[in-house]
Structure formats: structure tokens, C-alpha cells
Amino acid sequence: MPSQPERSPPFRCLFTNLEILTRTRELGRELQDELGSEPPCLVQVVEGARPFARLVQQGFVGQRMHDVRAKSYEGTVSTGEVQIEMLEGFGAMDVVDREVVLIEDIVDTGRTIEALRAHFLALGARRVRVISLLSKPSRRVVDVQVEHIGFEIPDEFVIGFGMDLDERYRELPDVVVYDAEVERGAAASEA
Ligand code: IMP
């Protein structure tokens, strides 16, 4: 059963909060089996990946979470370039000779993950693995490797469970499909 708050527009639900929890538990186990006993350097791509990363972190008790921000600039002068910012308390040395686990909400064109992987390998990471809640394979522009994927989805814009549209809807508990019509309809019926 979808678990949207009463005042949310009735967007179509793709994955309920419970489905996300269940699938993330499976993925977390896969990841732990692969990594063995060596503690990885956990890196979440903020803001969107926070709720998913919190669940992944539960399998690595005592490990701190590092934050990275990645912004891609697209549009008229776009080169699809990704700007990377390592946030408070995250030093370049934290990744040297470590297994880095990049935790992402969604892989779309693949540019963000490609740039982040290259960034951490250049800083001296031994290996970079990617775990992403969602993937849109039909949108790929670069052929990136994503080792652990929660769910593959079609080319639709999704929100909820950390993912936003202009900073809105991150707090929805389920992953739903954004639809401007649905949003307008809900606003009209409230007026
Ligand atoms: P990529 O570099 O094209 O793979 O883009 C990945 C980033 O784009 C994600 O981390 C999200 O921030 C954003 N993104 C891509 N698709 C969606 C979506 O459907 N909903 C919300 N954010 C998205």
C-alpha cells in the first residue's frame, strides 16, 4: 500500500516505502558479501541519496558517512560537465587505498557516477563500487558500471524518498512519478 501523506497530490506510486526497505536490505547484504571484512569508505551523493544511504549504512555499523555534492550543468552551453564538491570533514586522504562505496539515489545519463568514480580513483581509491536505489537504463549517455541497483525504471521523472523537483517532494515516503497535471488538479481541488 502506498503511504503518501494525505495532503500530497495523488502521484502514481512506483515503489512503496516498504518495498524500498525490503530491496535495500537485500542489496546491502550483497554489498557486504562482496566487500568482506575490510571496512569501506562510504560516500553519499547529497542531497538525494540521504534516505537510501542511511539504510545502506545500517549494514556497516560504526562506519561514518562522507558527503559529496555533484552538480551537472546542462542546457544551451552544456557539456554535461559535473562539478564535484567534497563536503565538511571529508578529506582527500580518507579514500587513499580504500574500497569506496558510492551511494546514489538514481543513475540517469551516468555522467555523475562516471565523474565521481574518476574523481575518487584519481585521489587514490583502490576501487570504487556504486550502489544506487534506481537506474534509468534507457537514458544512459555514458556506459558506466553500476554494481548494485535497487530497481530499474523507465524514462520517467521520479520524486520522493529523497528525490526532489526543485527541492520539493523529497520527504514523500514512497517513490512516485511526478506529473504536473496531477499536481495542478490537487491544487485546484484545495482552492
Ligand atoms: P546523471 O548524471 O544524468 O546520471 O544524473 C544523476 C542525477 O540526476 C541524480 O543524482 C539526480 O540528482 C538527478 N536525477 C536524474 N533523474 C532524476 C529523477 O527522475 N528524479 C530526480 N532526480 C533525478
DSSP string across the chain? -----TTS--PEEEE-HHHHHHHHHHHHHHHHHHHTTSPPEEEEEETTTHHHHHHHHTTSTTPPEEEEEEEEE-STT---EEEEEE-TT--GGGGTT-EEEEEEEEESSSHHHHHHHHHHHHTT-SEEEEEEEEE-GGG-SS----SEEEEE--S--EEBTTB-BTTBSTT-SSEEE--HHHHHHHHHHH-
97 noted as active-site residue: no
Give the confidence band of 101 by pLDDT, cuts at 50, 70, 90.
very high
Tell me, in angstroms, the distance from the centre of ligand 1 to residue 108's CA. Answer: 5
Whether the CA torsion 155, 184, 13, 171 is positive or negative: it is positive
**Ligand 1 pocket check for 43: Cβ under 6 Å:** no
Say if residue 75's pLDDT is above 50: no
Give the confidence band of 37 by pLDDT, cuts at 50, 70, 90.
confident
Tell me, in angstroms, the distance from the centre of ligand 1 to residue 25's CA. Answer: 22
Say if residue 172's pLDDT is above 90: yes
**Ligand 1 pocket check for 117: Cβ under 6 Å:** no
pLDDT at residue 76 in the model: 41
Catalytic residue among 108, 155, 174, 179: 108
| 92 vs 15, residue with greater confidence | 15
